[in-house]
Amino acid sequence: MEFIYRGVRHTNGRTVVTVDGAPLPFDGRHSPTGLEWGYQGSGPAELARAILTHHNRGEPVAPTVYQHFKAIGPATWKADRWTIATSDIDDALRAIRSTWAIDCVLCADTGRREVRGHWSPCRCRRARATRSSTR
């Protein structure tokens, strides 16, 4: 399914980010002031995490992955308005996986992923192989 993510910074400085016209959900873990873009900081990290979590059907990606996405995405968006589509996010994730040799975006090949705010074993092939080889 193709989603369109849009961000607008109003003249009063307030930012609004939507996915297909609805507000993009985020948990405020990185930025108590909300979603931002255009610099390397907590607001763009929050935006990268929110976009990738939504893109991944509600499953948070590893911090390494959303920080890399932040660096090539939200931190570089300097305009007051931007748009990114699912296909663009897929391209960015392919580039991140290739550049950083990451197989699993959920755990970044550590074998542990975030589930509802807690760290749990990942269900990726690499994590399963590691668990079975230690038995």
Total count of residues recorded for the chain: 135
The per-residue pLDDT for 110 is: 87
The per-residue pLDDT for 133 is: 54
Report residues of the chain scoring pLDDT below 70: 125-135
The per-residue pLDDT for 128 is: 60
The per-residue pLDDT for 53 is: 95
Q: For 5, what's the count of Cα atoms within 13 Å in the CB-facing half-sphere? A: 20
Closest C-alpha to 3, from 80, 75, 58, 76: 58
The per-residue pLDDT for 127 is: 62
Alpha carbon dihedral 37, 41, 43, 44, in 10-degree steps, equals 40
The per-residue pLDDT for 117 is: 73
What residues does each domain of the chain span? 4-101
Token pair listed for 113: 């992923």
Per-residue pLDDT reduced to its tens digit, 69-105: 999 999 999 999 999 999 999 999 999 999 999 999 9
The per-residue pLDDT for 71 is: 97
